[in-house]
Each structure stands twice: as C-alpha cells, then as structure tokens.
Structure 1
Amino acid sequence: MPDAGPTAVLPRRPLTVGELLDSAVLLLRDHASVLLPFAALLAAGEQLLLAPLRTLAGSVPPIWWYADGRVSAYWLLLAVGAATEGVVIALLGSPAARAAGPALLGRTARAGELLRPAGARWGATLLLALVAGAVMFVAALCGPGWFVGFALLGALTPVLVTDRTPLLRALPRAVALAARGGLRAGLVRLLGYLGWWILRVGLASGILLTLPGLGLVPAEWAVPVALVVWAAVNTVAYPALACLDAVLHLETRMRSEGLDILLARSPAGMPERVLLAADR
C-alpha cells in the first residue's frame, strides 16, 4: 500500500488494475467525512424505496433472496435495485470526481470544496443520474444487459464534473471512454463491482445470520434490522465504487488522451478546472 498523501492516491501515470482499486480506497479514506454521510442518506433512502417491492415479491430477510415463486415481481425488484444503485453511484460521483481532480494535481481537496455548489453542476448531475438509473433499469430487465449497462456508465458523472463536458455530450463521451482499449475501463468497473458485491453480501449475510442465532434480534425485528445492516454496508460500498469511477476516468484519460503529458506541459498558474477540462 502506498504512503498516504495526494500523490499516493492517484499517481500521474497509467495504473495497473490493482493500483486503481487501491487508489479508489485511498481516495475514499481521505474524503470519508464527506462521502460517507452523503452515501448513508442515499443508501437509507434506497432501502426504504425497495422495502415495499420486497414485500410484493415475497422476498424474505435477511438476504432478500427469491422465495415464493413470484418471478415477475422479483425480476422487477432486481431491476429497480439496479436502477437505484445506478442513481446513487452517479450522485456520489460528483464529490468523488471533485476529490480525484486535486489528488491528481498533488493536493488533497478540502471538505468545503466537495460540498461547495459552485462548479458542482448538481442540476445536470441529477439529470444524468436519472438517465443512468433508467438505463440500468432497462438493462437489468434484459438480464445479461446489466453487465453492458454497468460497464459503460462509469465515467458519466466524472465527464460532467471534471471534463466540463456539455450535458448532451456527456453520455456519448462516457460510453466512448469506457469502450477504449478493448473496453478496459468498463471491465475494471465490473471487476470493482464484483469485489464489493461479494464483500457486501458476505458481510451483511454474516451479521444478519449471526445475530438471530445469538438471540440478539427478535423475529419481529428481522426486517428493520436487515434494512439498517444493508444500508450500512452500502454506505461504504457505494462511495468506494464512485471513487473507483473517478480515478478510473482520470487514468483512462492519461492512458488514451495523454492527460499526464498535457498537465506536465501546462503553464504554471493555470486554474485546476481549466487544467482538467477535456477541451481547453
């Protein structure tokens, strides 16, 4: 593990897959005071939204697996869950991208910078987050289409916030970046999701299956406890994935657009937003 510090978070060079995953975790660690509370609100809202759909699908806690034969209802639940994940990760992508840019330039962004409305483009971010949710909903309904949708949408918010790309061009640019190099960025994003999915399911399952066995959770508390545990696990996983999107986006630009070379040749005193913009 590299030493703590902004240059260790995101070196100014193309990275290996392992370095990308490490950089995402380090970025989350350095900005946990902003990212985790924001993620907690979104994760809690997601659990409340999914609760009635789980009841409709006959899914039972603590793991919410398919239970009683309502295939169509459970398929809808999975699609809505994919959509909410897409929206939450896209929204968290805004502060994550605003943290990754300064890290690439050799400094750690202050909490106030990540929360400041100026330059955040929250209106456009919300629209793109809803687009991401709609795409993931349709892709999940198509089964294996989820893999394609998730792989291609990782750069959506970073393109908007870091590259300063116009709203209507953000989606095509994000897809193009994900597809470069034989879909490298998209495949790394899928790998990151798989790793965090295994961790989430393992951790949440372990907690929720152990507590009743120890007599610490009465049967009537199974549902609310499951909601809290899943929200807590996602509170860490979702911003970690958003940080992976942010560092993967900048690394893809270094690898395919020579961003590291452009930064090295830029004159001193140029504003950070201009340095990182895709079109100067």
Structure 2
Amino acid sequence: MPDAGPTAVLPRRPLTVGELLDSAVLLLRDHARVLVPFAALLAAGEQLLLLPVRLAAGTDQPVWFAEFGRFGWYWLLLVIGAATEAMIIMVLGNPAARAAGAALLGRRAGARELLRPAGARWGGTLLLVPVVGAVMTTAALLGPTWIIGFALLGAVAPALVVDRVHPLRAPLRSATLAVRAGGRAGAVRLLGYLAWWLVRVGLGVGVYYGLDGLDLLPETWQIPVSLLIWAGVNSVAYPAIACLDAVVHLETRIRTEGLDILLARAPAGTPDAALLAALR
C-alpha cells in the first residue's frame, strides 16, 4: 500500500474531510466480508430489542414515529436506540481499528487476522461497551447532549486496540483526541453519522414503500420485513461509521502527534503493535 495517492486506503499524511470519508468507505469495502456479517448479527439483535419499545410507543413501520400522547415511551425508544447503536459501533470498532492500523502500515489485514482473538483486546472492548452505553444513555436522556457524547466517544475502540492504552484510559483518550484541532475529529464523526443517517432513512423507508407499492407486503409481514430492512441497512451503516472512527483516529494522530514521522523513523522489524502504540 503506498504512503500517499488516491488509491491508498489510509495515506500517511493529513487528509481532507472528503478523503477521510473516502478512506472509510475503502476500508469497509476491503473488509466487508468480516465487518458486514458481524454487523448484521448485532443489527438484527438491536431490532428485536427495540421492537417491544416501538410497539409500546405506538409507532408504525417503517419510520417508527411517535403516536400523540405516548411521548414518554418514544423518548425511551430514542434513548435506547442511541445507546445500542453506540455500543454496536464500539464493538465493530475493534476489527475496524485493527484493519485501519494494518492499512496505515502498508498491508491488508486478512479475515483470519481480524477474527483471531489473540492480541485483539476483546476483553477490554467488551468491558468498555457497557460504559459507552451508559454514557450515551445518560447523554440521550438529557437531549441535545447526545451530540456531545457521540462526538467524544468515537475513538474508544481505536485507542484501546491500536494505541494499546489501558481500558480505563481509552474513553479519556478518545475525548482528548476528539477535541484537538478545534474539535475536528468529533465534528467529522458527527458529519459521517448524519450522512449515513440520511442513507439509512432513505433506504429503510424507500425499500419498504417500494415493496408495499408493488403489493408484496401482506399485513402480517409488514413488521418483520421492516425490521429486516432496517437491520440490513444498519449492517452496512454501522461498520461504515466504525471504519470512519478508525480512519479519523489515525489521521488525528498523524495531524497532532506526528504519527507519520514516528513510523518513518521506526527501526526495521519493529512489531506492528509497538509501531502504532501511543507514547506513554
């Protein structure tokens, strides 16, 4: 993999916002056979978890908007949804970050490498998943603070897996990197989320009404098909955001910590984990 150029998944230089988004898509494309099926399992579980709350809130597929008079249930639905998607993206961030780290070092991580538990720090990842969920639940309950929480937590998995920091330090490092350079990393994460939210809504609603318009949706199948559509859309959107988190994290380190210079000066034969580990 070249250090620079339009075909590089992750060039060793500061990138524009457009290049960051492109790099995330390239990373997802290269590792879709691992990330997308993994995301599909998590997204399907999320849809099943949210269904009882959606029904209690009186929402109807495929948009799941609130019914008048049930705002409390709908608010709970939004809170749970914010927490579950943040936790899913956090889990997917583990293999996505390892794939991005390999790309930065000029190689493509294979499926076996991404699935191999040795050195993947899954224990720390699973320890931090409920922490991220709790923070996002609290932030979402307070309304607009959800935006702040989501912006600050994008690099938790990359900080743990790539930077090799202690699990208890990973959220703080994520927040620290998110606010550097005028909050650039956090803003890019929010931009990526917004872009994929528009894609998710467009596809989720469009596919459903397309099938309904062709009379291919009997009433008894409307809810299951809607859940399946949303799970399918999220199985691409969630790993895409995780890939963006990984790319933005490494680019922020290049921009603010000189990671590209450190890699260029590293002695030959230095292990990958040592090359990318954050200075302590």
TM-score by length of 2: 0.97
Please give the alpha-carbon distance, in whole angstroms, between the structure 1 residues aligned to 2:16 and 2:69. 44
Q: Aligned residue for 1:226?
A: 226
Q: Aligned residue for 2:16?
A: 16
Cα deviation for residue 199 of structure 1 reads: 0.4
Please give the alpha-carbon distance, in whole angstroms, between the structure 1 residues aligned to 2:30 and 2:258. 26
Q: Deviations over 1:159-203 (max 9, x none)?
A: 000000011111111100001011100000000000000000011
Please give the alpha-carbon distance, in whole angstroms, between the structure 2 residues aligned to 1:49 and 1:120. 28
Give 3-state SS (helix, strand or coil) of 1:154's partner. Answer: coil
Q: Output the amino acid matched with 1:75.
A: W
Q: Aligned residue for 2:235?
A: 235
| Contact kept? 1:6, 1:103, Cα under 8 Å | no
Where does 1:49-60 land on structure 2 (aligned, <5 Å)? 49-60=49-60
| Contact kept? 1:7, 1:107, Cα under 8 Å | no
Please give the alpha-carbon distance, in whole angstroms, between the structure 2 residues aligned to 1:218 and 1:168. 50
Q: Aligned residue for 1:66?
A: 66
Moved more, 43-52 or 64-73: 64-73
Please give the alpha-carbon distance, in whole angstroms, between the structure 2 residues aligned to 1:71 and 1:213. 30
Does the C-alpha gap of structure 1 residues 237 and 19 become closer, same or farther in structure 2, counting only changes over 3 Å?
Answer: same
Please give the alpha-carbon distance, in whole angstroms, between the structure 1 residues aligned to 2:194 and 2:69. 27
Q: Deviations over 1:103-122 (max 9, x none)?
A: 00111011111011011111
Q: Aligned residue for 1:172?
A: 172
Q: Output the amino acid matched with 1:17.
A: V
Please give the alpha-carbon distance, in whole angstroms, between the structure 2 residues aligned to 1:123 and 1:107. 26
Cα deviation for residue 68 of structure 1 reads: 3.4
Give 3-state SS (helix, strand or coil) of 2:168's partner. Answer: helix
Where does 1:121-160 land on structure 2 (aligned, <5 Å)? 121-160=121-160
Please give the alpha-carbon distance, in whole angstroms, between the structure 1 residues aligned to 2:8 and 2:166. 31
Q: Output the amino acid matched with 1:27.
A: L
| Contact kept? 1:6, 1:104, Cα under 8 Å | no
| Contact kept? 1:14, 1:251, Cα under 8 Å | yes
TM-score by length of 1: 0.97
Q: Output the amino acid matched with 2:14.
A: P
| Contact kept? 1:6, 1:106, Cα under 8 Å | no
Where does 1:190-209 land on structure 2 (aligned, <5 Å)? 190-209=190-209
Please give the alpha-carbon distance, in whole angstroms, between the structure 2 residues aligned to 1:60 and 1:199. 20
Cα deviation for residue 131 of structure 1 reads: 1.0
Cα deviation for residue 279 of structure 1 reads: 2.5
User: What stretches of structure 1 move > 2 A for 4+ residues in a row?
Assistant: none
Q: Aligned residue for 2:250?
A: 250
Moved more, 61-70 or 106-115: 61-70
Cα deviation for residue 7 of structure 1 reads: 6.5
| Contact kept? 1:6, 1:107, Cα under 8 Å | no
Does the C-alpha gap of structure 1 residues 6 and 158 become closer, same or farther in structure 2, counting only changes over 3 Å?
Answer: farther
RMSD: 1.4
Q: Output the amino acid matched with 2:111.
A: A
Ranges in structure 1 where 5+ consecutive residues have no aligned partner: none
